[in-house]
Amino acid sequence: MSIVIAYWCFRVLPSPGIAVTALGLVAIIMAIRVEEWGRTERIVWLLLATFLMIIEMRSIQDDHDRHVKEMAEAHTREETARTEANRSFAVLIREGYGLFQSIQQVDARAKEGLENITGGKSFAVVTPQVWSGQVPISLTIRNAGKQILTGVTVSIYGMDEWKKPRGFYEAPGADVGTLHPGEMKLLKQTITPTTISGFKEDGLAIDRFQVNISAQNFTVVEYLDFKQGKRIPWTFRYQISRQFVKSQRDKTTYFGYEIMAKQMDWLGEK
């Protein structure tokens, strides 16, 4: 029976506490009955004590190995959890950045849509087609901005209009309608400069026309200056500006002027 128990203990290691208890019990029995045993019985109990001591040492080592394994597994689980948490955080950061980019794109589209509705800072330019050499001079209008212009109207004022009592209200005008970015249209109105009216510059007569171009966003004023050319009847230059509210104090409004485009060299012969 003792041999069976010992074999079972060898195959199925008990916990260190049980092994120590068993070894202590054997030691007590040996201490009490050692003088009553014969030589053979003493050898058997000594072998049993030795075997239990080996069992105890194996049990302690097995418990230590199991503890080390559990610690390693716990460390592995912690590392896996930490890696997964870092991966999840990275995914969250990417998703957050993607959401931020999407919000920016939506904001940009909304701003672009609003500018297309309001016209933003787009403006139109009237260009006299002096290159043809024909008088009266044909006129074209072009959207020089990036947004659509709607409700575009043109009013042209020469010296004759400024001299008439109601010339400001009777000036030739045109309803252009819609101008897409970069789109150009030919106006029905024409211009005929003269050397009789106007002003002098470097001894040469300059005829000036004022063109008011209105759209859904604001009105620009374009000044067209004409000077006689050498190879064609007329050359021209232009300046475009707009008026805006600069500040307000009490009931007084102060306006500012912004130059939208300016061409001071004479065009047409180069």
Contact 207, 199 (CB under 8 A): no
Assigned token pair, 143: 């959207």
Chain centre distance of CA 153: 37
Q: Which of 199, 149, 200 is nearest to 175 (CA)?
A: 149
Burial of residue 90 (CB within 10 Å: 0-12, 13-18, 19+) is exposed
Q: Which of 176, 123, 111, 174 is nearest to 148 (CA)?
A: 123
Which amino acid belongs to residue 73?
E
Return phi, psi of residue 245, to 5°. Answer: -75, 115
Q: Which of 43-52, 87-96, 124-133, 248-257 holds the top average pLDDT?
A: 124-133
Residue-level pLDDT at 37: 60
Contact 219, 242 (CB under 8 A): yes
Burial of residue 121 (CB within 10 Å: 0-12, 13-18, 19+) is middle
Report the alpha-carbon distance of residue 113 to residue 106 in Å, rounded: 10
Fold of 124-267: Immunoglobulin-like (2.60.40)
pTM: 0.58
Half-sphere exposure of 196 (CA within 13 A, CB side): 5
- Predicted confidence (pLDDT) at residue 73 exceeds the cutoff of 60: yes
Contact 106, 114 (CB under 8 A): no
242-254: average pLDDT:
83
Residue-level pLDDT at 8: 47
Report the alpha-carbon distance of residue 65 to residue 11 in Å, rounded: 17
Q: Which residue has the higher pLDDT, 220 or 159?
A: 220
- Predicted confidence (pLDDT) at residue 48 exceeds the cutoff of 80: no
Q: Which of 5-9, 163-167, 210-214 holds the top average pLDDT?
A: 210-214
